[in-house]
Amino acid sequence: MKSSQGSIKRVIHGIRGFKESTVILIIILLCTGISISAPIFLSLDNLKTTAIGLACDGIIGIGMTLSLISGGFDLSVGSVMGLSAVLTALFAGMGINIWLAAFLAVAISLIIGLINGILIGKVGLNPFITTLGMMSIARGGVFVLTQGTSLSINNADQSFRFLGSGNLFGIPVIAIIFIVLAILGDFMVRKSSPAMKVFYVGSNEKAAILSGINTGKVKLYVYLFTALMASLAGILSLSRFGVATANMGSGSEMRVISAAVIGGAALAGGEGSVFGTVLGVLLLSIINNALVLFNVSVHWQNLIAGTILILAVTIDLLSHKRKNK
Partner 1 sequence: MSKKIVSIVLAIVLVVSLSLVSCSTPGKSDQTAAQTTANSSDQKAGSAFTGNESQEFYMVTFVSGYPFWKDCYNGFKEAGALYGVKTVYGGTTEYDVNAAITALDQIIAKKPAGIAVTAMDAKAYAPSINKAIEQGIPVITFDSDSPMSKRISFIGTQNYSAGVTAARYIGEKLGGKGKVAALTTLAQSNIKERTDGFQETIKSEFPGIELVQVADAGTDQVAAATSAANLLKSNPDIQYLFCALVTASVGAQQALTEAGKKGKVKIVAFDTDTVTLDAIKSGDVDASISQAPWAMGYWAMNYLYFIKNGLVNPVDNWQGKGYPAIPVTADSGSTVVTKDNADNFYTPEN
Contacts with partner 1 by CB under 8 A lie at 1, 18, 22, 25-26, 29-30, 33, 37, 40, 43, 45-46, 49-50, 52-53, 56, 143, 146, 148-150, 152, 165, 237, 241-243, 245-252, 287-302, 304, 307-308, 311, 314-315, 318-319, 321-322
Query: Would you say 100 or 296 has its CB closer to partner 1?
Result: 296
Position 185, amino acid: G
253 φ, ψ (degrees, to nearest 5): -60, -40
Q: Does the CA dihedral 98-109-190-236 come out positive or negative?
A: negative
Radius of gyration in angstroms for the set of CA atoms belonging to the chain, rounded to a whole number: 20
Position 43, amino acid: S
**For residue 300, what are the CA distances in angstroms to 8, 33, 101, 110, 294?**
41, 19, 41, 38, 12
Query: Would you say 224 or 281 has its CB closer to partner 1?
Result: 281
Query: Would you say 9 or 111 has its CB closer to partner 1?
Result: 9
3-state secondary structure of 243: strand
DSSP 272: -
Position 16, amino acid: R
| Residues in a beta bridge with 295 | none
- The CB-of-65 to partner 1 minimum distance in angstroms stands at 20
Query: Would you say 127 or 272 has its CB closer to partner 1?
Result: 272
**For residue 83, what are the CA distances in angstroms to 140, 178, 221, 235, 265?**
9, 20, 20, 9, 27
- The CB-of-297 to partner 1 minimum distance in angstroms stands at 3
- The CB-of-126 to partner 1 minimum distance in angstroms stands at 24
Query: Would you say 56 or 68 has its CB closer to partner 1?
Result: 56
The string over 104-114, giving b where at least 16 C-beta atoms fall within 10 Å of a residue's C-beta and e elsewhere, is bbbebbbebbb
The string over 237-247, giving b where at least 16 C-beta atoms fall within 10 Å of a residue's C-beta and e elsewhere, is bbbbbbbbbbe
Other CB atoms within 10 A of residue 213 CB:
17
- The CB-of-246 to partner 1 minimum distance in angstroms stands at 4
Query: Would you say 219 or 255 has its CB closer to partner 1?
Result: 255
Query: Distance between CA 252 and CA 261 in Å, rounded?
Result: 14
Spacing of C-alpha 228 from chain mean position? 11
Contact between residue 69 and residue 269 where contact means Cβ atoms under 8 Å apart: yes
Query: Would you say 30 or 179 has its CB closer to partner 1?
Result: 30
- The CB-of-232 to partner 1 minimum distance in angstroms stands at 15
- The CB-of-299 to partner 1 minimum distance in angstroms stands at 6
- The CB-of-173 to partner 1 minimum distance in angstroms stands at 14
Query: Would you say 190 or 322 has its CB closer to partner 1?
Result: 322
- The CB-of-125 to partner 1 minimum distance in angstroms stands at 26
